[in-house]
Structure 1
Amino acid sequence: MKNKNLEDILKRYKAGRATPEEQALLESWIMFGNMPAHDLSETELGADVMIAAKGLPVVKQGKIRKIWWTAAAAILLCFSASYLYEMTFHNNQSISEYANDIKPGGNDAALILADGRKISLNEAQDGEIASESGVSIKKTANGELIYTIGTNGNKNASNDEVFNTILVPTAGQYQIRLPDGTKVWLNSKSSLRFPVQFSAHERKVELVGEGYFEVMHQKSKPFKVKSGEQTVEVLGTHFNIMAYGNELSGKVTLLEGSVKVENKSNVKVLVPGQQAEYVSGQLSVSKVDVADAVAWKNGYFRFNESLRSIMTKISRWYDIEVVYEDAPDDALVFEGEISRARNISSVLKLMQSTGNVHFKVEGRRVTVSR
């Protein structure tokens, strides 16, 4: 490859203007150390690699110290200027080698109305799809469900609360705006049960799975989220709850404001940057990087965890079955970031490039081996 062509691809990649083919080619070079020779200086190379290799995973095992994505670390992880060599297209290992590639999930959900009717939000037309207790329910073109109280909404409401439930399947996600203006993003395999109109004294919803909340402030009416055996209470704040039934723990991560997390035997009050973790009836609080908790809501996988934990998240988003040939080493921690809009091959290649794990895709089954 011509030196000028390589420089041009790097520049377009950094500017976000690379074609899908150029992006895949460059990422493959980075993953497998097959960068063509060129005449960029080592300083220039370091700057380019730091940006291009941002998504490359770092592997930690046992008590090995954490490695950060600096220019120097990227060069050490990917390649060194003194070891660059010419590559031809016939020996380039492309992402397309996965014959059974699997596309990512997307906006998908079903709405269960109070009378039991089920509306597929994928099939429903944009605009008003239902009306209950004086509340209009509308679907937008960008995958959001909006509840709006009409002029006579409160007058039409009965003393008994009327509940709706939104169900998000595997490989799905959806956004909803509740009657009070609170916004909720739901991740794959999640559900939210909520009243069409909140009571006069509190706003209470029930979550299964994972959701990110931006709660509209109402001083006289606290907002409560029940998830499993814990309840999160707020007035107005931004937080994420992860409470899947098949996970060993549940987590509440606070980005803004203040929340109270409570179960039968514990009460914890969080400040921004803290996470409450619920394990076997006990609550513990720690300081975390909140970006990890909300990466899914922003369209990314951001990993800093074990292989088993990562594959659980991947299985929900791509609707796959994961089979392990060998028992996963939970002491092995992968770090990395990649868009959730990419096909599964891109995610698996990123992890496989560490040399610590291998994958085989057959239909919707992914076999994991060492």
Structure 2
Amino acid sequence: MNQNRRAFCAQLASVPLLSAVGAGVIAPWRGAQAASTYPNKPMSIIVPFAPGGNTDIIARMIGTTLSKQLDANLVIENKAGAGGNIGAAAVARARPDGYTLLYSTASSFAINPHVYSSLPFDPRTAFEPLAVTIQVPVVLVVTAESGIKTLDELAAHLRENPDTAAYGSSGTGTSSHIACHVLAQKLGVPKAVHVPYKQGPQVLTDLVGKQLTYAFDAWSVVGPQVRSGRLVALAVSSKERLKAAPDVPTIDELLNTDFGVVTWNAYVAPSGLPTEIAAQLREAIQAALKDPTINARLENEGVPAYAPMTAEETRTFFANEYEKWGELVKLVGATRVS
């Protein structure tokens, strides 16, 4: 090993797994391995969002076990910006050799193409879908100081305050915007004011400060404030209640409707990935998701793992979600220039 190689490995090993920097390393012990086998060098997992966010945390959590399954060093790189488009575009341009993967949300694969007027890639052709990992339901929350404790009470409040009722989202056309808008329509108050934010955490700050009426976010984000008593969880967007919050009902059961606003995370590779490498990666990812410790942690975060899918089932899932979110974006009427 030459000095440059030693310096590179030393630099990688010095970055903690859950650090708040732009890259982290999952570096398991590697046994003897022929240079001709895959993988035989560090792999880059691009997360197109900032460090410390839900997607980043889950990528690192799964990555710990995935690195052992592949017997490879995984370098987590955060390339945030433009709603995830910058990091996704970087992977779309990468060589399809299995050493650069994208771990992202439904936004990159099914939502942003309908929101942005132009993208530097087409997710339907730029990527090879590898595995859908988790579903990411969002939880409807209000501030405890509002006195609202049920979905019916929220609906009554919205109808009684049509000029001041407002909801916050992490940006126009995001899943949180769509969830809030669809709920307002189903509650019969379609004119509720939308307040978009550039930074998601500010939504909950303003919600607690009573500048907003309601908002949606993942349980991993709102759970601590619900437990502290600052926020009240009224409902969850998934079809089944979360094991992490079994007392919070689903919107489906409260409104007897199919709410259908649940996002998800997935691994993809650049299009053109060799079939045998794609199969090896799918098998490793699915094995990592079956790890009991990882599974329990995902359930605790309110982001349960999907059942394993075949390659064809994964492609069909991506295609169906692309169409579904396209219809939801059209319903919201959200379009912006990239």
Q: TM-score range by the shorter chain?
A: under 0.3
Structure with more helix by fraction? 2
Of structures 1 and 2, the larger Rg is shown by 1
TM-score normalized by structure 2?
A: 0.28
TM-score normalized by structure 1?
A: 0.26
